[in-house]
Structure 1
Amino acid sequence: MQPAVLVLEDGRTFRGEAYGARGSTVGEAVFVTGMTGYQETLTDPSYHRQVVVMTAPHIGNTGVNREDMESGRIWAAGLVVRDPALRPSSWRSQGNLEDALREAGVVGISGVDTRALTRHLRDRGAMRVGIFSGPHATTADEELLRAVQEAPRMAGSALAAEVSTPEPYVVSPPEGTPTRFRVAALDLGIKGKTPALLSERGIEVHVLPSRTGVDELLALEPDGVFFSNGPGDPATADHEVGLLREVLERRIPFFGICFGNQLLGRALGLGTYKLPFGHRGINQPVLDRTTGKVEVTSHNHGFAVAWPEGVPTDQPADTDYGPVRCSHIALNDDVVEGISCQDLPAFSVQYHPEAAAGPHDAEHLFDRFVGLLTSSTDKEAPRAQA
């Protein structure tokens, strides 16, 4: 085994063994609390320029396969694990994780005390990190630390255009499912599961590049608009916010997830801010104030919507588009996890109701969007495909 070293921007160092591709990588260190779903995490474009620290000790047990890819490639900048599986043990496996990392050129490290690393990040907050393996691991610590500290920060980074589709494409309802609605989905880092779940509900999904203009979007004559999850700082997404305001002014039904939630907040005039270490993993409790139920949800966000100062989150806030309420709240730290307009057909959530690889408590939100489309368009008959 070849040596590897992990260097945090505050100077703390962890040594281990090379895992995946050999070389060097830098990014934002984030910890993920899921015991499974590592393939879905790594292929989620929201993890672009992030080094994923898996808190579960045993990673790679189920291997990798084509069906669980959330995009066409691994987007994470690096992977940190404690005990990688010697071999996968799953009837669905089509390969092992380390080979997949190596083929994708993703540098990782194993043999690291991920519990100690997670506690450090939990106390100090998300920070830049570098993984250096092979010959790079023998470089002087001062040089490695300098390389980490010179890497760009996540705050202020505009990344959606780097992960968005270069060309539009359409996801049609499965054979035998009538097409009821047409939705324009802005790809800010969309996961494959999302248009699949929309199409299962009779929606013809037109996935569009992040830089799409309002004329291109309106030319589709959409019954609704969807903004996806994605990486980067929402404060940089002025183009997307401007597009969303055009949608709101035309009262086109809107649904947003994760990055889309932050952009709805910005479009309404609310602020956004960076969380100390973010919410990531598949066991986050959220109160849905619409139903009064607590749902266990999947998260991946380092930024959040800032509720207006002096306004309790259980009270509506006034905006230029009418009152908006905090529809969902994180029960661990009271972070705003969803917003809903009272005078417009628009709502969004900060977490992932598509939740590959689970849990599926919040998948009903796609049905809520269908209900919004139905009430706004007053159309029940199948729609002709474009």
Structure 2
Amino acid sequence: MAINFNRKILLEDGQEYYGYGFGASGDKVLEIVFNTSMVGYQEILSDPSYTDQAVVMTYPLIGNYGMAEEDYESAHPSIGALIVREYNDEPSNFRSAATLGEVMKKYGIVGVCGVDTRKLNRSIRDFGSRRALVTDAATPREKGLQLLKESSLPTDAVSRVSRKTPEEFPAEQACFHVTAIDCGMKQNIVRSLNKRGCSVTVVPWDTTSETIRSLQPDGVFISNGPGDPTDVPQTIETIRQLLGTVPIFGICLGHQIISLAYGARTYKLKFGHRGGNHPVKNLDTGKIEITSQNHSYAVDTDSMRHTPLQVTHVNLLDQTIEGVKCEKDHVFSVQYHPESAPGPQDSAYLFDRFIHMMEEGGTHHA
């Protein structure tokens, strides 16, 4: 250990990685994951799906273009920590309003730079996501391991990041009204719907089906969000009661919630999918989409046999389910992020599919 290292990451299996602190200080026990995106650290930092996670960036230089006011995906970033190889505290970008470190300090997000991220990411890939302690370099290893042993990751992440009251996002020329269930929703989802003529009413994660019906939406959207989908049984039950009454579209956690509402099962992946270059095959068209992804859980393929859902998309890296639909109920969902931010835009057509579904009407306003 170099004498000037002041921070370290201690994994629950005893591995230690030393570096230098930036952003906020303090000790945190988090789930450690990695993201392979080459750009978009601001969108990653402000994506609520990373709540309670320490994200290791595989791209080696982070912070070089600063933070722009227009690029946040949530108003109050809730990521646990950011771990990078090289942190640049002097951004060069005319849009930059603050440095990455300043924003992280403002929101209590700890950072560690100077870490051997290649070795750390390989460890996560080989041995899976684990709990990690981000702490002072001088913290004794045994003390840190004891703290990890005694700590458990919270299961209330969705309730913490979801809006507490409904919020309206009107479109300039509105053709449809969408009720969006906020489980930790990225703002670019709202922008994507507004751009297509949808006024959006964003409601809290635990909003009942009766309340949603009272809003008389043309369609219901279920957002991305953090954690295990089985931690939100209220949302699953809400969707179960709405099935067949209104067109429904889900993304990421929303995809898992829809699958669970139909009786499928979910499971945790070894190290998840996080990055902007995941190849997904559209089984309806045979085309390959390069997608933006951020999730730890997947829908179990065998459990789909006992549901009316049809698999529409498959991940070409590990054959996991990436999309499902139930044409009878006017319901579909994808595991990845068609709104990108950051990432490729191959899958933006899915929002157009949702519009088309609402145009057809389904059995809406029931």
Report which stretch shifted further, 137-146 or 59-68. Answer: 137-146
- 1:138 match: 138
Q: 2: CA distance between counterparts of 1:58 and 1:187?
A: 32
Question: Paired residue for 1:264?
Answer: 258
% of aligned pairs identical? 42
Within 5 Å, give how 1:45-84 maps onto structure 2.
45-84=48-87
**Contact 2:159–2:183 under 8 Å retained in 1:** yes
2:166 counterpart residue number: 168
- Give me the CA root mean square deviation: 1.6
The corresponding residue for 2:316 is 331
Structure 2 SS opposite 1:67 = helix
Whole-Å Cα distance in 2 between the matches of residues 277 and 152 of structure 1? 18
- Where 2:243 maps in the other structure, the secondary structure is helix
1:6 maps to 2:1: no
Question: CA offsets per residue over residues 45-81 of structure 1, 9 Å max, x none?
Answer: 0000000100111001111111110001221101100
- Which of 89, 101, 104 is the aligned partner of 2:107? 104
How far apart, in 1, do the equivalents of 2:148 and 2:39 lie?
Answer: 29
- CA displacement 1:200-253 (0-9 Å, x = unmatched): 111111000011112211110111100000011111221111100111042x10
Structure 2 contact 277–343 (Cα < 8 Å) conserved? no
- Does 2:336 match 1:351? yes
Structure 1 position 31, deviation (Å): 0.1
2-structure distance, mates of 1:189, 1:101: 19
1:183 aligns with 2:178: yes
Which amino acid is the alignment partner of residue 300 of structure 2? A
Contact 1:128–1:149 (Cα < 8 Å) also in 2? no
Tell me the distance in 2 between the aligned counterparts of 1:103 and 1:226.
Answer: 31
Structure 2 unaligned blocks of 5 or more: none
SS in 1 for 2:328: coil
Distance 1:290 1:91 in 2: 43
Secondary structure of 1:18's counterpart equals strand
CA distance in structure 2 between the partners assigned to 1:93 and 1:357 by the alignment: 17
Q: Give the TM-score of the pair, scaled to structure 2.
A: 0.95
Partners of 2:94 and 2:229 lie apart in 1 by 40
Distance in 1 between the 2:327 and 2:306 partners?
10
- Which residue matches 1:40? 43
What is the Cα deviation at residue 293 of structure 1?
1.0
Match of 1:255 in 2: 249
What residue in structure 2 maps to residue 203 of structure 1?
198
> Normalised by the size of structure 1, how large is the TM-score?
0.91
CA contact (8 A) 1:128 1:151 kept: no
Q: How far did residue 148 of structure 1 move?
A: 2.3
Paired position in structure 1 for 2:292: 298
Aligned length: 361
Structure 2 partner of 1:193 = 188
Q: Find out whether 1:283 has 2:268 as its counterpart.
A: no
- What is the aligned partner in structure 2 of residue 314 from structure 1? none
Q: Are the equivalent residues in 2 in contact too, given 1:16–1:110 (CA < 8 A)? A: yes
